Amino acid sequence: MDLSIVASMYRSAAFLAEFHRRCAASADKLGVKDLELVLVNDGSPDDSLNRAMELHHQDPRVVVVDLSRNFGHHKAMMTGLKHARGELVFLIDCDLEEPPELLEAFYAEMKRAAADVIFGQQETRRGGFFERFSGACFYWILKVLSNHPLPPNVLTARLMTRRYVRSLIRHRDQEVFILGLWSITGFEQRAIKTEKSSHSRTTYTFARKMALTVNAITSFSNKPLIYIAYLGISISVVAILCAAYLVVRRIFFGDYLEGWPSLIVSIWLLGGLTILCLGVIAIYLSKMFMETKRRPYTIVRQIHRRALEETK
């Protein structure tokens, strides 16, 4: 197999026909003789699976991986990569916001730079003010807290060698944060500046973005736990100094400071910090709990692949 093109499907029915046509055209321009298009149905509630099956019957190069339910974008992509067989693997979203023709530019850059991964990166993040601001905050938080900072505004679209993909799918994280996995897998990776258009409303709600941020931080960094220890030490030092100050004033100056409001505020402050710290620790404990179960991160209902490949 020369090339595998991998995409996950969620509310993607309207884009599949054009996506298939443009991917096949780009592969033909590169002279790819042996191609497969792996479409992963991530429990899509629309007609995506039926549209993909129609493409599969029309074009035997189309492989449909049908998951048993919705597992999430990142897990679906990792499942697609696991079932890809190409010496080169092109990962891209099928909503056409990232043009399939990027394959041609990525292939040329890979040959020129002899890199294992060529990925797309936006020069400026698309969307309104809130989306651009929240995206900037996300990457800033990762830069501060993560042990493996990520390049900002990374796109899904990327062309990868077989040896890189083989190493990538060895990760067995139950809570998959694929941007982090791309980074920590290593190898020679190069970015190409590109633009991302907008054809549909994003399926990433604010709640999902917040969950992604928490997952990204707690999956790839222990710094929040270290900062909790530093915070506890700092509060203890301040408390000792304040206590010493009150004792000195009482012994040498005879002052007795009253301040119920300040006392209550201090109690609420320390109580809030205690609950916050316990919450952060609880998140890490919950992740340890999930990881130790060793459950598969997706379950495949059925794989529709051409008979020729099944016999190999």
206 pLDDT more than 70: no
User: Are residues 94 and 70 located together in one domain of the fold?
Assistant: yes
Instruction: Tell whether 267 is covered by a domain.
Output: yes
Compute the mean pLDDT over every residue in the chain, rounded to the nearest whole number: 81
Please report the pLDDT score of residue 265 as a whole number.
Answer: 60
Stretch 183-208: mean pLDDT: 74
Same domain, yes or no: 139 and 261 = no
| Cβ atoms 187, 117 nearer than 8 A | yes
| Token pair recorded at residue 158 | 């990327």
Predicted local confidence at residue 267, as pLDDT? 74
For residues 5 and 55, give the distance between their C-alpha atoms in angstroms, rounded to a whole number: 14
Same domain, 304 and 285: no
207 within some domain: no
Please indicate, yes or no, whether residues 152 and 256 belong to a single structural domain of this protein: no
Domain shared by 251 and 196, yes or no: no
What is the pLDDT at residue 309? 45
Output 230 or 116, whichever has higher pLDDT: 116
CATH number, domain containing residue 131 = 3.90.550.10
Range of the domain at 229: 223-293
**HEC secondary structure over the chain:** CCEEEEEEECCCHHHHHHHHHHHHHHHHHCCCCCEEEEEEECCCCCCHHHHHHHHHHHCCCEEEEEECCCCCHHHHHHHHHHHCCCCEEEECCCCCCCCCCHHHHHHHHHHHHCCCEEEEEECCCCCCHHHHHHHHHHHHHHHHHCCCCCCCCEEEEEEEEHHHHHHHCCCCCCCCCHHHHHHHCCCCEEEEEECCCCCCCCCCCHHHHHHHHHHHHHHHCCHHHHHHHHHHHHHHHHHHHHHHHHHHHHHHHCCCCCCHHHHHHHHHHHHHHHHHHHHHHHHHHHHHHHHHHCCCCCCEEEEECCHHHHCC
pLDDT at 184: 83
Q: Which pLDDT value is given to residue 183? A: 83
138-191 tens-digit pLDDT: 667 777 776 676 777 888 999 999 999 999 999 887 777 788 888 888 899 998
Task: Indicate if 129 and 61 belong to the same structural domain.
Answer: yes
CA atoms within 13 A on the CB side of 21: 4
Residue 270 and residue 301 in one domain: no
Same domain, 142 and 183: yes
**Quick one: pLDDT at residue 132?**
67
What pLDDT is attached to residue 93? 93
Residue 33 lies in a domain: yes
Judge whether 129 lies within some domain.
yes
| Least confident span in 62-76, 259-273, 279-293 | 259-273
What does the pLDDT read at residue 259?
63
pLDDT band of 312, cuts 50, 70, 90: very low
Do 236 and 303 fall within a single domain?
no
Residue 113 lies in a domain: yes
- Whether residues 60 and 189 fall in one domain: yes
Domain contains 77:
yes
Per-residue pLDDT, averaged over 212-238, amounts to: 72
- pLDDT, one tens digit per residue, over 70-105 is 988 889 999 999 999 999 999 999 988 899 999 999
Q: Give domain status of residue 212, yes or no.
A: no
Is residue 209 included in any domain, yes or no? no
Same domain, 43 and 160: yes
Q: How many domains does the chain have?
A: 2
**Per mean pLDDT, which range of 67-71, 121-125, 164-168 is the poorest?**
121-125
pLDDT for 131 beyond 80:
no
Name the range with the highest mean pLDDT among 151-155, 288-292, 299-303.
299-303
For the ranges 61-75, 81-95, 111-125, 246-260, which has the lowest average pLDDT?
Answer: 246-260
Q: Which residue has the higher pLDDT, 134 or 176?
A: 176
Higher pLDDT pick, 184 / 238: 184
Q: Are 192 and 229 part of one and the same domain?
A: no
Q: How many angstroms separate the CA atoms of 69 and 301, rounded?
A: 9
Cα–Cα distance measured from residue 75 to residue 58, given in angstroms and rounded to the nearest whole number: 28
Whole-angstrom distance, CA of residue 193 vs CA of residue 208: 26
Nearest-angstrom CA–CA distance, 266 and 16: 59
